[in-house]
Structure 1
């Protein structure tokens, strides 16, 4: 139900612990681009999405079983889990993989980083406690500007990509925004259960799509290294990552959780520097500085400092 006419009296904020969760999630999802880049060369996009969510769902089902948590006790949320599976996994994962077959990484990162903007706009209409404010929009704008600076000339090479590829990635960001708002309805459900329900649902949804589009894939040429990347994508970048995501939504709200898309490019570049020997340029430091300032603006710390001084 829309609460657009209700005024927020207790807007959600982020504690230091939730900020740490957000930074960790950004680092993990930054690594997911590395794992996906390896795997998608050998596995069709829809099939890779199915394997990713199925591995994560199985791992979380085993985790709940080991903790003595009965997943069936939450069966009343089955329609909500299905909605999350569609909006947070099936649609965006598929659109991102499809779009990136014809779209450069630079422009894809910019489009993906617009997720907080869509979340703010949709949350303003659909929620009572997450209205758009000048502070939020300013911080998001600084963050996107930082990503544009970091990507530099590589962005220009992507603008010749087909319109359908660009629209696919934008569609993924809209789907993520709607999923973040829907996830607010699961505050009474433990994050591990919500993640398990979402990923179990998206697995069931993807099976017929894969059979119709990809058929049964041939994995005979997939090396152990590629399988390790796929497992990392499923276990770390999906199962564990979504536990963090739903924990952040539960404590900080949909808009704050969507800020992770501003951190992901920083994480991806730093991981490339650490593990692939890539070098940081001046534009990287400037861009990361702008993103950091943007996050501090959203957090309210800069505004509070200015008031004190």
Structure 2
């Protein structure tokens, strides 16, 4: 990847790593669906205004709303809801580690729904390493239906949803949709999807919100969603889905540091061991480490 793409990738890892911190603060007082709505709604407002300023608003003939709604469901509504609920049960750092399994799920999804990304022996090894990492993370409670386990399962479900979104999102490049429009379209569609569900389930007008929670929502929406998705689609167009998902190497680092320094969260040794195994799986997916270690012929 070009140097500028690496810079975008590092910036995206900080923005998305910070989202786990912002969400943990927000769900301390608000319901998960309310946080999802605030995240995508504020992001949609910011991105739609930015798009309108370029003279290419979303609400015009020919806008691919079906694609925007599908992407919004798989990349926003489902995973955000699952992660935010999961963070009411587990630390934000652990949620970010489980989110790092996204490329491993992507291997399986891409194998079955695409013609050009089949699983080979290296990818099987990556999957086994990643599954072992998840098993270590969950620990002895894997077969016990306790609350912490369900929180971890929710985060894994979000990673699976992201995997489907990553494969589906490749069509936006083929449709020649600019990164800003793709980002605005999916968060706008997500807002329409989550609004009625949120109003029925949580009645957010009855919930108090401290200034710290409002600040967290603003950071979650404007930094970790609006700005992040512009970078997301820019990297996707410039470097492809596989390179884009390398961001999951870096997200847990930001999330764990913020959780430890600000929220006083602690992770167990086995959770770091699990993250290391997942990192091995991701390195195998990437392939660059193996090529560098292989002797030249």
TM range (shorter): 0.7 to 0.9
Are the counterparts in 2 of residues 103 and 158 from structure 1 also a CA contact under 8 Å? no
Question: Contact 1:144/1:262 (CA < 8 Å) preserved in 2?
Answer: no
Provide the C-alpha distance between the structure 2 equivalents of 1:171 and 1:185, rounded to a whole number of angstroms. 23
Q: CA deviation at 1:268?
A: 1.5
**Structure 2 equivalent of residue 191 of structure 1:** 179
Q: Distance in 2 between matches of 1:182 and 1:204?
A: 20
Confirm whether residue 177 of structure 1 aligns to residue 163 of structure 2: yes
* 2:51 equivalent among 48, 59, 64: 64
Secondary structure in 2 aligned to 1:76? coil
For 2:217 and 2:31, the matched residues in 1 are separated by 12
2:80 is matched with which residue: 73, 93, 116? 93
SS in 2 for 1:102: coil
Contact 2:92 2:255 (C-alpha < 8 Å) held by counterparts: no
Distance 1:84 1:197, change over 3 A: same
CA distance in 2, matches of 1:201, 1:52: 13
1:84 paired to 2:71: yes
Shift of 1:125: 1.9
Pairwise CA distance, 1:245: 1.6
Q: CA RMSD in A?
A: 3.4
1:23, CA displacement in angstroms?
Answer: 2.5
Higher mean C-alpha displacement, 113-122 vs 250-259: 250-259
CA contact (8 A) 2:105 2:159 kept: yes
Describe the superposition over 1:259-302 as per-residue Cα deviations: whole angstroms up to 9, x where unpaired.
Answer: 33332111212345676799999999988887777665544433
Aligned residues of 1:296 and 1:302 also touching (Cα < 8 A) = yes
Q: Distance in 1 between matches of 2:130 and 2:171?
A: 28
Aligned: 1:207 with 2:207: no
Gaps of at least 5 residues in structure 2 are: none
User: When the two structures are aligned, how many residues end up with a matched partner?
Assistant: 291
Out of 26-35 and 167-176, give the one that drifted further: 167-176
Structure 1: runs of 5 or more not aligned: 1-13
Q: 1:217 to 1:110 in 2, by over 3 A?
A: same
TM-score by length of 2: 0.81
Q: Return the alpha-carbon distance in structure 2 between the equivalents of residues 292 and 20 of structure 1.
A: 20
